[in-house]
């Protein structure tokens, strides 16, 4: 078991390890000694797998348990689901000392977090992420919210959890595709800030996504990513500086994702986006050819793509429409040495010629 502390506007622990769902009641009681009621938010895929276990663990600690189960998928990430959660809590007479438990992937965590942030102007939330993407990214750092028809994650709040419980056994029921996608974010941490994680992933590259059958390895990898995210969030909770480095591969990745009508998985698009920036850094002569090749090889070893047929023009115009742009400049995250990254401000024209200079 690995315990990582996040020191943001609130200090809390992320506990990562095998078999933690059964311990979840005790862990939650330790951070909510006076709570009486708990709303477990989950969805139709995760509920049949893990709801009973968590519910039993929480009830054993004397909590009065309520449930809100929504239809799995990004389509549910809207205000109707939030209103449903508010309704259950209001009817049951939840008070400021009661809490919400998010059990599921990033969609569940973002929504349950937002419902908790807004109900009675803010009650506690416990995150229990079950997807790899949610464990290494979404559940840590306090970003919560919902989508609008006009765009993803358009409404939300920063709302840090009281504790994050990551049972790595849950990754065994995830589809291969979803596990692979999560590896896109894992590789991102290795490239931008974590040389030991990079070396570790390289040592185990021949196993590919079979690494998830190794409980020790899985705990170690997820724990390293959590420590990275915790480090970044602790230094830049509100995304004004260093937290932006987590966008490595995301500027172009988002454009590819949106152009596919969100039919391509986020982590897959991020891998493509990283590959494109790696090529551009190599072309600009700031990243050594050998390092660039090692990075591409590692991405491929874990079943992810490194390129896409998007043109530099399309990438730039798509990026300019993205909310992440500030003024007329783009903040592009570049890696010129594995394990370190920097934010480079580029005008659209500079970004276009940067992409056009790509080697390969």
Which residues of the chain form contacts with ligand NAD (CB under 6 A)?
43, 45-46, 49, 72-74, 77, 104-108, 110, 130-131, 133-134, 137-138, 141, 143, 152-153, 170, 173-174, 178
Extract the tokens encoding 215. Answer: 């409980």
312 vs 318, beta carbon nearer ligand NAD: 318
Which residue number, 66 or 159, has a Cβ lying nearer to ligand NAD?
159
Q: Quick one: 108 or 160, whose CB is closer to ligand NAD?
A: 108
Nearest residue by C-beta to ligand NAD? 106
Determine the Cα–Cα distance for residues 290 and 296; give it in Å rounded to an integer. 10
What DSSP character marks residue 323? T
d(CA 267, CA 272): 9
Q: Residue 2 and residue 90: Cα distance in Å, rounded?
A: 36
Contact 66, 41 (CB under 8 A): no
Q: Which of 230, 193, 224 is nearest to 5 (CA)?
A: 230
Nearer to ligand NAD, 45 or 251 (CB): 45
Q: Minimal distance in Å, beta carbon 337 to ligand NAD?
A: 26
Q: How far is the CB of 155 from ligand NAD (least distance, A)?
A: 12
Q: E strand or H helix at 357, and its extent?
A: none
Q: What Rg do the C-alpha atoms of the chain give, in angstroms?
A: 20
Tell me whether residue 37 or residue 254 sits nearer to ligand NAD (CB atom).
254
Residue whose entry in the numeric block shows the structure tokens 């009973």: 52
Q: What CA–CA distance (Å, rounded) separates 40 from 127?
A: 10
Closest approach of ligand NAD to the CB of residue 56, in Å = 18
- Taking the complex as a whole, the smallest distance from the CB of residue 344 to ligand NAD amounts, in Å, to 23
Minimum CB distance to ligand NAD, residue 205 (Å): 23
Q: Where are the beta strands (DSSP E) in the chain?
A: 2-7, 11-17, 37-43, 64-70, 99-104, 124-129, 143-148, 151-158, 163-167, 330-337, 340-346
For CA atoms 261, 262, 263, 269, give the dihedral sign.
positive
> Would you say 16 or 45 has its CB closer to ligand NAD?
45
Smaller CB separation from ligand NAD, 138 or 280? 138
188 or 296: CB nearest ligand NAD: 188
Residue 101 has phi, psi (to 5 degrees) of: -120, 120
């Amino acid at each position: 078991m690995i315990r990582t502390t996040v020191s943001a506007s609130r200090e809390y622990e992320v506990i990562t390890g095998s078999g933690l769902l059964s311990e979840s009641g005790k862990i939650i009681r330790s951070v909510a000694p006076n709570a009486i009621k708990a709303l477990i938010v989950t969805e139709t895929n995760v509920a049949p797998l893990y709801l009973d276990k968590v519910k039993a663990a929480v009830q054993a600690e004397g909590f009065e348990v309520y449930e809100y189960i929504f239809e799995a998928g990004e389509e549910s990430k809207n205000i109707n689901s939030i209103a449903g959660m508010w309704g259950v809590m209001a009817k049951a007479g939840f008070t400021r000392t009661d809490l919400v438990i998010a059990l599921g992937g990033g969609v569940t965590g973002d929504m349950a977090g937002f419902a908790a942030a807004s109900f009675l102007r803010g009650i506690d939330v416990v995150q229990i992420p079950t997807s790899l993407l949610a464990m290494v990214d979404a559940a840590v750092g306090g970003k919560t919210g919902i989508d609008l028809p006009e765009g993803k994650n358009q409404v939300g709040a920063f709302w840090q959890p009281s504790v994050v419980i990551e049972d790595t056994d849950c990754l065994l029921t995830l589809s291969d595709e979803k596990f692979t996608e999560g590896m896109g974010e894992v590789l991102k941490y290795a490239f931008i800030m974590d040389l030991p994680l990079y070396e570790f992933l390289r040592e185990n590259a021949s196993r590919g996504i079979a690494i998830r059958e190794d409980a020790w390895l899985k705990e170690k990898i997820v724990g390293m990513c959590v420590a990275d995210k915790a480090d970044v969030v602790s230094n830049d909770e509100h995304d004004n500086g260093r937290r932006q480095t987590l966008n490595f591969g995301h500027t172009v990745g988002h454009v590819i994702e949106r152009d596919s009508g969100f039919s391509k998985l986020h982590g897959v698009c991020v891998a493509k986006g990283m590959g494109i920036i790696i090529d551009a850094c190599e072309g600009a002569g700031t990243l050594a050819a050998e390092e660039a090749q090692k990075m591409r090889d590692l991405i491929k070893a874990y079943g992810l793509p490194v390129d896409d047929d998007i043109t530099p023009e399309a990438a730039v115009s798509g990026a300019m429409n993205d909310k992440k742009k500030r003024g007329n400049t783009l903040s592009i995250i570049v890696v010129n040495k594995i394990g370190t990254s920097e934010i480079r401000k580029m005008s659209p024209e500079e970004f276009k010629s940067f992409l056009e200079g790509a080697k390969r």
